[in-house]
């Protein structure tokens, strides 16, 4: 039986990667899905791939006005939402002594600021008993070369989640973190890995993961569905690592 029938789910960065895989799975489970992103063409393509249950809103998660607009659309079109998945994020791998102010500000603006003001705006529109899923990262706990700034943004999300799990408890809204390990998404291109070096990079990363491979977006989406649905109805404030065991090494 579909587990999200009658639910409305909002997914930031839902036009690619883990966000898109989650949007497809949520829609397949009966939810009406609202995705956000910065690129209109990518949003249009994503809506076509998700199907008639999908709606897209273009905007920048670093801009609080965008989140207020999303909340307005949700109220007017659906009367409220049941699931909020703060998925949008960016990562630039740079060792600390070479990080520019622009690079630092960009990562904190999208990853930390975007998550905070997204939840602030959408919170009043969430129905009691809803679920908030925040995208964390293995990097917030495990030291990875060149990830100091990114790790800092994801550590902030961990702090947000712990606070929000208590702040929303009176409304029965659960707040949990989904922390992926290396996952085969478009982010490999954004990290600057050339196509001709993709296989070697993937093999190198797989060697650091006990299960011997990178994760697939669909696997992360299934974990997101668990946290978003009533299957996790007595779970709040956790950090669910979906990393193939990489945190153990």
Per DSSP (E only), the strands in 38-123 are 54-58, 81-86
The catalytic position among 84, 117, 150, 226 is: 150
Instruction: Give the residues across from 134 on adjacent strands.
Output: 86, 177
Q: Is 84 a catalytic residue?
A: no
With beta carbons less than 8 A apart as the criterion, state whether 174 and 232 touch. yes
Sheet holding 126-135, edge to edge: 54-58, 32-37, 8-12, 81-86, 126-135, 174-180, 239-242
Tell me how far apart the alpha carbons of residues 63 and 88 are, in angstroms, rounded to a whole number.
Answer: 13
Tell me how far apart the alpha carbons of residues 16 and 149 are, in angstroms, rounded to a whole number.
Answer: 23
Closest residue by Cα to residue 172 from 87, 230, 239, 112: 230
Catalytic positions, written as ranges: 150
């Amino acid at each position: 039986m579909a587990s999200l029938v009658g639910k409305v789910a909002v997914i930031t960065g839902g036009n690619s990667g883990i966000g898109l895989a989650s949007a497809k799975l949520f829609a397949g489970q009966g939810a009406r899905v609202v995705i956000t992103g910065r690129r209109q063409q990518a949003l249009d393509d994503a809506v076509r791939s998700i199907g008639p249950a999908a709606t897209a809103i273009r905007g920048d998660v670093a801009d609080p006005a965008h989140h207020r607009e999303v909340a307005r659309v949700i109220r007017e079109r659906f009367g409220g939402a049941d699931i909020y998945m703060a998925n949008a994020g960016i990562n630039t791998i740079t060792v600390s002594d070479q990080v520019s102010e622009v690079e630092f500000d960009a990562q904190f603006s999208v990853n930390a600021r975007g998550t905070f003001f997204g939840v602030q705006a959408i919170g009043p529109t969430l129905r009691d008993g809803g679920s908030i899923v925040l995208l964390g990262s293995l990097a917030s706990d495990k030291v990875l070369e060149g990830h100091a700034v990114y790790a800092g943004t994801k550590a902030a999300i961990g702090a947000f989640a712990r606070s929000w799990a208590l702040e929303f408890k009176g409304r029965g809204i659960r707040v949990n973190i989904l922390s992926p390990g290396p996952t085969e998404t478009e982010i490999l291109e954004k990290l600057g890995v050339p196509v001709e070096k993709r296989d070697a990079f993937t093999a190198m990363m797989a060697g650091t993961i006990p299960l011997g491979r990178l994760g697939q977006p669909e696997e992360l989406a299934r974990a997101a569905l668990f946290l978003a649905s009533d299957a996790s109805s007595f779970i709040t404030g956790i950090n669910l690592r979906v990393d193939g065991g990489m945190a153990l090494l």
